[in-house]
Structure 1
Amino acid sequence: MASTSSSILVACLMAMMVLLVVATDDKTPTICNVGISELAECLPAITGDKPSWPTKRCCKVMRKVNLPCLCDYKDKFLQYGISPQNAMALPNKCGLTLPVQCGGKY
């Protein structure tokens, strides 16, 4: 049953990514300047009750994310079954500082 809920969370995250996609000139789907396939590296670090610590690959991806853009979506995570706290804590776990507009630490 735990794998079913994890599968649902992953499906919800992927649905959210599709809804937030912005096509670039080369038609590669991106969110906040990062490709969707790259963002998938961070799924284990934001899903579930006790997400894993982000991998080095995930943090490398997070360094490319437009953080102010990510902050603009923080209130939408919950409607897709993703904890906003988990998602917004990810940059800090990777040694990045969230912009002031994000409304504090997570």
Structure 2
Amino acid sequence: MKPMKIIAMAAAMLSLLARISVARGYIIICNVNKDDLMPCMPAVTHFSVRPPAQPVQACCSVLRTANLTCFCELENKYPWLLYMFGIDPDLAKALPGECKLNSFTRC
């Protein structure tokens, strides 16, 4: 592999690790504990048998503390990460609007 490719891959991995960190056994993604994001999962996943749910208040509360720009960067640079967790990128992008977080512009 060429040295520039190796450097680019290393930089991308460091960028990803800067956004996802582990503290005291918890996975922190964009300033939010991954477990705290669980109330959002029904709103960002869908199955063929049911449409996605509307976000619950607990989900919207968590999003108010999250770094939403960071989530956009993850979605744009590492879409496989969303798919790994079963998250539909289009539903995830719509979530701030569903929670009426008007101060956030879409990705």
Specify every segment of 5 or more residues in structure 2 that has no aligned partner in the other structure, as ranges: 1-18
Q: Please state if 1:74 is matched with 2:79.
A: no
Q: Does 1:88 align with 2:89?
A: no
Describe how 1:6-17 pairs up with structure 2 within 5 A: none
In structure 2, how many angstroms separate the alpha carbons of the residues matched to 1:79 and 1:58? 19
How far has the Cα of 1:28 moved from its partner?
3.2
Match of 1:52 in 2: 53
- Higher Rg of the two aligned structures: 2
Q: 2:11 corresponds to which residue?
A: none
Return the letter of the residue paired with 2:91.
N
1:67 touches 1:99 (CA, 8 Å); kept in 2?
no
Offset at 1:21?
3.1
Matched, 1:62 2:63: yes
Percent identity reads: 37
Query: In the alignment, what sits opposite 1:28?
Result: 26
What stretches of structure 1 of length at least 5 have no aligned partner? 1-19
Structure 1 residues 31 and 57 mapped into 2: Cα distance closer, same or farther (>3 Å)?
same
- Measured in 2, the distance between the counterparts of 1:79 and 1:61 equals 21
Distance 1:29 1:82, change over 3 A: closer
Structure 1's consecutive aligned runs of 4 or more residues displaced over 4 angstroms after TM superposition are none
**Counterpart for residue 4 of structure 1:** none
Contact 2:45 2:91 in 1 (8 A): yes
In the TM superposition, what is the alpha-carbon distance from 1:27 to its structure 2 partner?
A: 5.0
Task: Give the Cα separation in 2 of the matches to 1:27 and 1:33.
Answer: 15
Number of aligned pairs?
A: 81
